[in-house]
Amino acid sequence: MMIIARKVEVVPFCKQWATMFAEEAEKLKRVFGKECLRIYHIGSTAIPGMSAKPIVDIMIEVHDIDHVDSYNDAMAVLGYQAMGENGIPKRRFFQKGGDERTHHVHVFPTGSEHIARHIAFKEYMIAHPEEARAYSRLKEGLAKQFPADIEAYIKGKDEFVREIEKKALAWYKQKQ
């Protein structure tokens, strides 16, 4: 069996990403119903002006993470593949579009530290456009350097993301 490497593509910000999020969020609300508390647009596609992989990241906050697997069939009808925790305990992850992904859905239980982490990162980057530009340049450079190596691309971003995440969480806590 031949494994095909996913192409690493980073593109300039697209205003359509907000519309794509809003349209998908409506569908996801119908799937998760009362289990869903909030739906957030997260990641680089949620940050105006940010270059990004053209995959809309959506985070859903739910009452009980243990109920989420019962929605796998309904998510499949929308074109999502259930990936389980996918490396993060107490998360459920779904991807849409196969090798040509369009959406990722991250589901966390209410109170998860991952919810605050994602929101803080997004809000910090919006409030600090110079940091967002630096992150855009880093991602663009890594995509050119590693066009067929998603793991190297992710590893190349890791230190920068960890630093920004620390700053973002401290900044976000002060805002509260």
Could you tell me the pLDDT band of residue 5, with boundaries at 50, 70 and 90? Answer: low
CATH 3.30.460.10 fits 16-175, yes or no: yes
The reported pLDDT for the residue numbered 1 is 45
DSSP string, the chain: -PPPPPP---B---THHHHHHHHHHHHHHHHHGGGEEEEEEESGGGSTT--B-S-EEEEEEES-GGGGGGGHHHHHHTTEEE-TTTTSTT-EEEEESGGG--EEEEEEETT-HHHHHHHHHHHHHHH-HHHHHHHHHHHHHHHHH-TT-HHHHHHHHHHHHHHHHHHHHHHHHHH-
DSSP string, 67-98: GGGGGHHHHHHTTEEE-TTTTSTT-EEEEESG
Handedness of CA 150, 153, 159, 160 (dihedral sign): negative
Q: What does the domain layout of the chain look like in residue ranges?
A: 16-175
For the stretch 40-63, pLDDT in tens is 999 999 999 999 999 999 999 999
The reported pLDDT for the residue numbered 136 is 97
Distance, CA of 87 to CA of 93 (rounded, Å): 9
Looking at the predicted structure, is the pLDDT value of residue 115 above 60? yes
Average pLDDT of every residue of the chain: 95
Could you tell me the pLDDT band of residue 139, with boundaries at 50, 70 and 90? Answer: very high
- The 10 Å Cβ neighbour count of residue 10 is 20
With a pLDDT cut of 70, the percent of the chain lying above it is 97
The reported pLDDT for the residue numbered 113 is 95
- Phi then psi for residue 51, to 5 deg, are -70, 145
